[in-house]
Amino acid sequence: MALDRIDVKILELLQRDAHMTAQAIADAAGLSPSPCLRRIRILEEKGILKGYVALVDQKSVGLPISVFLSVRLERQREEELERFSAAINRWPEVVECYLMTGQRDYLLRVVVPDLESYEAFIKTRMSRLEGVASIESSFALSQVKYTNVLPIR
Amino acid sequence: MALDRIDVKILELLQRDAHMTAQAIADAAGLSPSPCLRRIRILEEKGILKGYVALVDQKSVGLPISVFLSVRLERQREEELERFSAAINRWPEVVECYLMTGQRDYLLRVVVPDLESYEAFIKTRMSRLEGVASIESSFALSQVKYTNVLPIR
DNA sequence: GGTGAAATTTTAGGTGC
DNA sequence: GCACCTAAAATTTCACC
């Protein structure tokens, strides 16, 4: 891969605002639009730039609640892990999921409009999954920080 | 706010791909480009569409490790919460932070290139913060799911 | 990596339904 | 409030240096 200063600068700018024009990015990165756009295409082809997305405000669309779930499975065989992964990837309420070290197997962030919906999520989704040993929920009172900008370098 | 079907559809499309042309969005949402773009502008003005960003692959840029920190403060006075919030918002390694109910006060996701950097983060950042009672770290082995797409409706 | 022109797209305005 | 059309402005794209 080998990213130089200019690549890092481009990634930083695009992570903050994907609607910047090639001209503006070029100016900020210290080169002209064409090579700038060429670098961006290369970063896209290499998969370093995964995509461009719009960010939606959770509260504004009636989804104020984030719940974190610690999940333990009964067995950690590949088959079990695969089944769990496939399931949560189908469920739109689950926006993040990590395979963890330590006490629990998975950490999930689930987004719901209210507690009733959360109950429904647990009852109709999680509890019907086979192989789940335990679930522990903690509720987020507020989002103190949320960014897609990675600390590159 | 009152989002209708078309608004929800537009938000869904833009959350997946912000580079869609107004024409393509209009086609998929079942209307013509002009009113489609008008709706998008309104969603932006209302703050429902918070912005457009590029997503960067964590591993590709040498940041394979996500660590989750459970943090408890000694006191939960507004002053303490403010100071903590201000600090973590300054630190680029912290990509997510939630104020939580229950045992801990905060849940953080920290992104680092290696364990050495994580140690440095704990030593030079977290441990120098006043008012922190305890920190508990768990490591993510892999990211099973990560999406910005919210389950609207 | 830079320059410049062509092609596509975005954006705004105006009319009728 | 939307569809449709038109036109101008801006941006991306791709030649070549």
Q: Please write the tens of the pLDDT for every residue from B72-110.
A: 999 999 999 999 999 999 999 999 999 999 989 999 999
Cα distances (angstroms) measured from residue A110 to each of A123, A129, A151, B109: 14, 16, 25, 15
Instruction: Please indicate, yes or no, whether residues B134 and B87 belong to a single structural domain of this protein.
Output: yes
Predicted pLDDT of residue A53: 97
Cα distances (angstroms) measured from residue A74 to each of A78, A106, A124, A129, A130: 12, 12, 19, 11, 9
| Residue B148 domain-assigned (yes or no) | no
Number of separate domains in chain A: 2
CATH of the domain at B131: 3.30.70.920
Our measurement of CA B6 to C1' D2, in angstroms, reads 13
Q: A134 — phi, psi (to 5°)?
A: -160, 155
**In this structure, which amino acid lies at residue A57?**
D
Is B147 within 8 Å of A96 when comparing Cβ atoms? yes
Q: Is the CB of B9 under 7 A from strand D?
A: no
Is B101 within 8 Å of A138 when comparing Cβ atoms? yes
Q: Against a cut of 0.85, is the pTM above it?
A: yes
- Residue numbers in B near A152 (CB within 8 A): 56, 61-63
Instruction: Please indicate, yes or no, whether residues A79 and A115 belong to a single structural domain of this protein.
Output: yes
pLDDT tens figures, B122-142:
999 999 999 999 999 999 999
Predicted pLDDT of residue A153: 87
Instruction: Please indicate, yes or no, whether residues B76 and B133 belong to a single structural domain of this protein.
Output: yes
Q: Give the span between the Cα atoms of B117 and B41, in whole angstroms.
A: 42
For B142-153, what is the mean pLDDT? 97
| Residue B23 domain-assigned (yes or no) | yes
Predicted pLDDT of residue B76: 92
What range defines the domain where residue B23 resides? 5-45
| Residue B50 domain-assigned (yes or no) | no
Instruction: Please indicate, yes or no, whether residues B78 and B17 belong to a single structural domain of this protein.
Output: no
pLDDT tens figures, A25-40:
999 999 999 999 999 9
Instruction: Please indicate, yes or no, whether residues A29 and A71 belong to a single structural domain of this protein.
Output: no
| Residue A13 domain-assigned (yes or no) | yes
| Residue A19 domain-assigned (yes or no) | yes
Instruction: Please indicate, yes or no, whether residues A28 and A75 belong to a single structural domain of this protein.
Output: no
Instruction: Please indicate, yes or no, whether residues B86 and B27 belong to a single structural domain of this protein.
Output: no
Instruction: Please indicate, yes or no, whether residues A36 and A89 belong to a single structural domain of this protein.
Output: no
Instruction: Please tell me whether residue A70 adopts helix, strand or coil conformation.
Output: strand
Instruction: Please indicate, yes or no, whether residues A69 and A106 belong to a single structural domain of this protein.
Output: yes
pLDDT beneath 70, residues of chain A: none
Place of tokens 């507020």: A142
Instruction: Please indicate, yes or no, whether residues A78 and A19 belong to a single structural domain of this protein.
Output: no
| Residue A32 domain-assigned (yes or no) | yes
Place of tokens 């079907």: B5
- Please compute, for residue A102, the number of CA atoms within 13 A of its CA located in the half-sphere on the CB side: 15
Instruction: Please indicate, yes or no, whether residues A77 and A107 belong to a single structural domain of this protein.
Output: yes
- Residue numbers in A near B142 (CB within 8 A): 98-99
Closest to B53 (Cα-Cα) out of B18, B90, B25 = B18
Length of chain B: 153
Q: Give the span between the Cα atoms of B136 and B62, in whole angstroms.
A: 24
CATH of the domain at B9: 1.10.10.10
| Residue A152 domain-assigned (yes or no) | no
For B50-60, what is the mean pLDDT? 97
| Residue B119 domain-assigned (yes or no) | yes
Beta strands B49-56 and A49-56: pairing type? Answer: antiparallel
pLDDT tens figures, B17-52:
999 999 999 999 999 899 999 999 999 999 999 999
Place of tokens 């797409």: B149
Instruction: Please indicate, yes or no, whether residues B74 and B28 belong to a single structural domain of this protein.
Output: no
